Amino acid sequence: MAKENKTMDEIHRGLLKKYHTLCTVLGLDDEAKRAILTSWGVESSRDLTQHQLIDICGKLSAQVDEKQGTARLDKLRKQVIAAIGGWLRETGQKQSLSIIKGIAMRASGYADFNKIPRERLRNLIATFNNKVKDARAVDALTDAMLMQHYSAGGEIDPTLN
């Protein structure tokens, strides 16, 4: 029985630690933490039961996921803009934010740039970055082949760099 109580105490301490970590991640001040505790009818987080802590941590975790998920999507959208902008520059085309977003929407099949899901954004980043890398590699190869032709004055061997 003593071992069972020790395990329950460890679980409770772990949940308390998680609760306080989530509050910190969300940037909750003392007043906001007090409001949470008051809504559960307690004055201290130590007075919460394990079930209450599990419920609260679940709700706070969802808020953290929402907060961080949005930030990650914004970062991916900026990377898509940079990748498509880089491709437009590499190919000597006119670029603007509306053109870039239009290309992203058309390439992904979505009518709203902000509705493109995470995986599609990642695919667009990779695709347009690879297009730039491939174009540069092809340019370098053709330049090397031309140099080989003019310096050797004969047949071109594309396997030589």
8 A C-beta contact, residue 55 and residue 20: no
Is the predicted pLDDT of residue 70 greater than 80, yes or no? no
Query: Mean pLDDT lowest for which of 4-13, 125-134, 139-148?
Result: 4-13
CA distance 39 to 1: 33
Compute the average pLDDT of residues 50-66: 90
Looking at residue 3, what is its pLDDT?
54
Query: Mean pLDDT lowest for which of 109-113, 150-154, 155-159?
Result: 155-159
Question: Residue 91 burial by CB count (10 A; 0-12/13-18/19+): exposed, middle or buried?
Answer: exposed
More confident residue, 106 or 2: 106
pTM over 0.95: no
CA distance 106 to 112: 10
Looking at residue 13, what is its pLDDT?
93
